């Protein structure tokens, strides 16, 4: 299961630690998010120990969503060493996400 980023743990887990974080902004009512969700879960297992891959429920964590200007979901941020290095808005294939992860590892 993918890591759950929250308003409370985001700074510590995504910004203050080294390495690559892949953060999927989603909501339960979002159809495209339900397509991306299982891919994020698979990637979190595949890259366990190499990158922290997880999700932010925008309905439960409005602070992070507002801070990063997330207006459309799914939005996937790639954060490396505390800085956003890439962003994808909309449905993404597993292959395209793996390519982006490889680019930023």
Q: Which domains does the chain have, with CATH numbers?
A: 3-104 (3.40.30.10)
Q: Among all residues, which ones are annotated catalytic? A: 30, 33
Percent of the chain with pLDDT over 70: 100
**DSSP annotation string for 49-92:** TTEEEEEEETTT-HHHHHHTT--SSSEEEEEETTEEEEEEES--
- Over residues 29-80, the pLDDT tens digits come to 999 999 999 999 999 999 999 999 999 999 999 999 999 999 999 999 999 9
What's the pLDDT score for residue 1? 81
The pLDDT value recorded for residue 32 is: 95
């Amino acid at each position: 299961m993918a890591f759950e980023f929250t308003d409370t743990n985001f700074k510590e887990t995504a910004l203050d630690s080294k390495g690559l974080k892949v953060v999927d902004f989603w909501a339960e009512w979002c159809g495209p998010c339900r397509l991306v969700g299982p891919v994020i879960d698979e990637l979190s297992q595949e890259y366990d120990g190499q990158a922290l891959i997880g999700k932010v429920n925008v309905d439960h964590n409005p602070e992070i969503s507002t801070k990063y200007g997330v207006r459309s979901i799914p939005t996937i941020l790639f954060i490396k060493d505390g800085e956003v290095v890439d962003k994808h808005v909309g449905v993404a294939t597993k292959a395209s996400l793996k390519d982006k992860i490889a680019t930023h590892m």
